[in-house]
Amino acid sequence: MKKSRVFWGLLFIAGAILILISPTGILGDLNILSIFISFILLYCLGKGIVYRSPSGIIFPIALLCIQYDDFLGIDFIGPWTILLAAALLSIGFSFLFPKKRYCPYKYKDQEEYYKYEDTQEHDDSDMRFQTSFKESIHYINSTQFEYADVQCSFGIIKIFLDNATLKNDCAYINIEGSFCGIELFVPKDWHVENHVEFVFGGSEETYHCENTTTSKLILQGKIVFGGLTITYI
């Protein structure tokens, strides 16, 4: 069993035990849930620094700022504003400082370097993307794209649809995310209907042009502590 799986398994078990005993008063006035979330965010921040990932550094800092906004005196800004700023900063720094594609460490039983950033191409009509604690990039080249299920936690997913054709001029993307950033790159002549529900998060559209086709992309789902960016290209 990988050490990382053991670490995360024991961490969440310990968190569950602390949350259960917290109401007994043994731990005093400590906010166990807040401390637990802070520990996870600091761990993600550390990994982001090690892998030189702009999003891996900026998003944990942004979420920590949201969590301690009263202490920092920035409660007037609003969580979704901080997350949108974090998403834009991540994109900007990713262009200015492209991170290394491979991690400098090797597993003992592997010959290839571990890929921190996962890049894949897809040509199916129905597909599923799942990312946790890393960044992944997906290029959809399907000529009959109809549906995609996107799940992301503590990570970044970038999905490029500029080379896709919608089946019957309509497709759905279901998004379920937490502590994440999701970026969709769609053709500038598509019409996008965004029905995603946000809890401490928000969405932004950039380079939006007038729709010149009947192609419609419908977004649905829920994002908690995260942001969604739709870029028309």
Sequence ranges of the domains in the chain: 3-96, 117-232
pTM score, two decimals?
0.55
Neighbour count for residue 203 (Cβ, 10 Å):
20
- Residue 81: pLDDT band (50, 70, 90) is confident
For residue 179, pLDDT over 70 is answered with yes
Q: How far apart are CA 82 and CA 59, in angstroms?
A: 9
For residue 3, pLDDT over 70 is answered with no
- Residue 214: pLDDT band (50, 70, 90) is confident
Torsion sign over Cα 103, 108, 111, 115: negative
Q: How far apart are CA 181 and CA 200, in angstroms?
A: 12
Between the alpha carbon of residue 52 and those of residues 10, 47, 91, 190, the distances in Å are 27, 8, 14, 34
Predicted confidence at residue 221, as pLDDT, reads 94
Q: How far apart are CA 79 and CA 59, in angstroms?
A: 12
More confident: 90 or 223: 223
More confident: 51 or 78: 78
Q: What is the helix (H) or strand (E) element at residue 61, kind and residue range?
A: helix 54-67
For residue 145, pLDDT over 90 is answered with yes
Secondary structure class of 76 (helix, strand, coil): coil
Q: How far apart are CA 192 and CA 72, in angstroms?
A: 37
